[in-house]
Amino acid sequence: MLELLAIFFSISSLVAVIIIYKQVQKKQQMTVESLSARVGNLLSEFNSVSSCNIDLLEDRTEELRRVVELADLKINKLNRLMDRVQGARKKLQFELSKNQRSGTESTNRSRREKVLALSDQGHTVAEIAEQLGLKRGEVDVIIKFNRSRVAGR
């Protein structure tokens, strides 16, 4: 920041000197005293403008610091919220997978019970498969598995 100000002052000083030099060329009749007074006035004006610019830059720098601090606070708050959301998301995923597992087991049990009930009523594998919307092989496996379990008891 100070380096920029130094460059700014150097360039401004150079511009001031060039302006003064041009004025000296145009008015060769000016005396050394009037020229010195004029340079003094220009330098005084330059110092005044530079001082105002420095004050303005310091104000803006302080304002930017406050904005950055506020942004940091908001980022920290967002990070905490994201952590909470991810925790809740993991919990929901766990509950969903748990419910899906129990739902699948319940569906499989219900399907097996329907197949066995229809089989006990004397329906054929093809009839059961058509009625329940299952493949014949699946129905056949369920019936044979049940028979082997019953025979094993």
**DSSP string of 48-108?**
HHHHHHHHHHHHHHHHHHHHHHHHHHHHHHHHHHHHHHHHHHHHHHHHHHHHHHHHHHHHH
Answer with the residue of higher pLDDT: 120 or 14.
120
The pLDDT score that the predictor gives to residue 126 is: 92
3-state DSSP helix/strand/coil percent for the chain, to nearest 5?
90, 0, 10
pTM of the model: 0.38
Hunting for tokens 């007074």 — which residue is that? 37
Confidence of residue 23 (pLDDT cuts 50, 70, 90): confident
The pLDDT score that the predictor gives to residue 68 is: 96
Query: Which is nearest to 39 in space by CA: 13, 65, 74?
Result: 13
Residue 129 corresponds to which tokens in the numbers above? 């498969």
Answer with the residue of higher pLDDT: 121 or 148.
121
Mean of per-residue pLDDT scores for the chain: 84
The number of residues in the chain equals 153
Answer with the residue of higher pLDDT: 84 or 17.
84
Q: Over 70: is that where the pLDDT of 49 sits?
A: yes
* Cβ-contact 118, 128 below 8 angstroms: yes
